[in-house]
């Protein structure tokens, strides 16, 4: 049995997997509010309840160095060696969360992906992965001639680049709000959608109906904005989602240029599946391909939306098995194939 984890600033998602005929077979999963626990070890022990696993891998937000990471959004320091000892699991690995998503791409079935733009599917080469959720994750899937090797990136923290007057004024608004430098994550993420909404209300003076203000104060603001925008119930929500999706498409295009992802761009994270209908309306792709002299390069790139919420867990499980097999010489995946 393989333990996979997706560790975020707000929640920890754990799952158990086995292998059947060489493919990952889901057993069970559970989500835990991270702030309610002293550390990852406590959550894992509660989830396992004494169950034994062969290997574990956790996708974590941020750069992992020598199996160790200090989380920025939680007062936790994770160390793979300490976790291995305390949990009694021989093989424990920590990898960047977008790296885990990258390994998960290879495990996805066709019905777990929506093709937003066909592009030229015959092209072979690097791929890019971008995922907006609580934050903005970016990853690289580098083609080595045989397959795609995921590499982590912290590109979501690169400088926000406004493209029009509204976005220039949005940058000014955010620089004042955060008292300094603004990254793309401040615009393209859960907090980003709310930031855009606040900008439209406070700077552009777009009306906020009383009923909407009540809902925004009492409920999850991002959920309210998304729901009201998709249902065309509110002008400010529609404008906020439109600006958000346009910025999302622009940064996806920026990443595609940097990686030269002729093999395609994958859009992951928790937000994309929830706003799929909006992504289909052309706003995302217009911004994605608006790259001047290199626009045709972007037009030829396939763009695919990851619909599977457990993609990072699939990737973490795949990585855990592969690395444990390298170390031990025993592959659980290979053993599950009956020849």
Instruction: Look at residue 8 in the predicted model and tell me its pLDDT.
Output: 83
pLDDT digits (tens, 9 = 90+) for 212-231: 999 999 999 999 999 999 99
Instruction: Look at residue 339 in the predicted model and tell me its pLDDT.
Output: 54
Q: State how beta strands 55-60 and 91-96 pair.
A: parallel
* Cβ count within 10 A of residue 261: 28
Instruction: Decide if 74 contacts 34 (C-beta within 8 A).
Output: yes
pLDDT digits (tens, 9 = 90+) for 167-214: 999 999 999 999 999 999 999 999 999 999 999 999 999 999 999 999
Chain Cα centroid distance, residue 76: 21
* Cβ count within 10 A of residue 196: 28
Segment 49-57 shows an average pLDDT of: 93
pLDDT digits (tens, 9 = 90+) for 125-168: 999 999 999 889 999 999 999 999 999 999 999 999 999 999 99
Instruction: Look at residue 61 in the predicted model and tell me its pLDDT.
Output: 87
Instruction: Look at residue 279 in the predicted model and tell me its pLDDT.
Output: 98
Segment 290-318 shows an average pLDDT of: 97
CA atoms lying within 13 Å on the CB side of residue 297: 15
Tokens of 337: 């194939």
Q: Write down the mean pLDDT value for the chain.
A: 95
Instruction: Look at residue 214 in the predicted model and tell me its pLDDT.
Output: 97
pLDDT digits (tens, 9 = 90+) for 240-270: 999 999 999 999 999 999 999 999 999 999 9
Radius of gyration, alpha carbons of the chain: 21
pLDDT digits (tens, 9 = 90+) for 5-50: 999 878 999 999 999 888 999 999 999 999 999 999 999 999 999 8
How far apart CA 278 and CA 276 sit, in angstroms, is 5
Instruction: Look at residue 332 in the predicted model and tell me its pLDDT.
Output: 87
Q: Is the dihedral of CA 101, 104, 109, 110 positive or negative?
A: positive
Domains (ranges, CATH) in the chain? 2-104+310-335 (3.30.420.40), 109-307 (3.40.367.20)
pLDDT digits (tens, 9 = 90+) for 60-87: 988 899 999 998 778 899 999 999 999 9
How far apart CA 322 and CA 198 sit, in angstroms, is 46
Instruction: Look at residue 225 in the predicted model and tell me its pLDDT.
Output: 98
Assign 269 to helix, strand or coil.
coil
Instruction: Look at residue 298 in the predicted model and tell me its pLDDT.
Output: 98
How far apart CA 172 and CA 167 sit, in angstroms, is 9
């Amino acid at each position: 049995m393989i333990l996979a984890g997706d560790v975020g600033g707000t929640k920890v998602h754990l799952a158990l997997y086995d292998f059947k005929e060489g493919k990952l077979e889901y057993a069970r999963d559970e989500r835990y509010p991270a702030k309610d626990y002293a550390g990852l070890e406590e959550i894992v022990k509660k989830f396992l309840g004494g169950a034994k696993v062969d290997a574990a891998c956790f996708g974590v937000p941020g750069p992992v160095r020598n199996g160790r990471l200090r989380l920025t959004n939680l007062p936790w320091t994770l160390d793979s060696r300490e976790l291995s000892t305390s949990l009694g699991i021989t093989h424990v690995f920590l990898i960047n969360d977008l790296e885990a998503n990258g390994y998960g791409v290879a495990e996805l079935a066709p019905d777990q992906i929506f093709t937003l733009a066909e592009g030229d599917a015959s092209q072979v080469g690097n791929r890019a992965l971008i995922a907006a959720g609580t934050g903005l994750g970016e990853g690289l899937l580098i083609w080595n001639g045989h397959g795609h090797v995921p590499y982590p990136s912290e590109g979501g923290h690169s400088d926000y680049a406004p493209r029009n007057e509204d976005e220039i004024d949005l940058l000014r608004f955010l620089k004042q709000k955060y008292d300094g430098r603004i990254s793309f994550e401040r615009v393209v993420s859960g907090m980003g959608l709310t930031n855009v909404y606040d900008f439209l209300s406070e700077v552009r003076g777009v009306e906020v109906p009383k009923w909407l203000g009540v809902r925004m104060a009492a409920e999850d603001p991002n959920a309210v904005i998304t729901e009201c925008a998709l249902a065309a119930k509110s002008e400010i929500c529609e404008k906020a989602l439109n600006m958000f999706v346009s910025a999302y498409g622009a940064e996806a295009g920026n990443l595609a240029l940097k990686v030269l992802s002729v093999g395609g761009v994958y859009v992951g994270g928790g937000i994309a599946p929830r706003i799929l209908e909006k992504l289909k309306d052309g706003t995302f792709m217009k911004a994605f391909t608006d790259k001047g002299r290199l626009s045709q390069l972007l037009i030829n790139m396939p763009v695919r939306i990851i619909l599977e919420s457990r993609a990072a867990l699939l990737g973490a499980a795949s990585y855990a098995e592969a690395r444990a097999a390298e170390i031990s010489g025993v592959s659980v995946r290979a053993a599950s194939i009956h020849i």
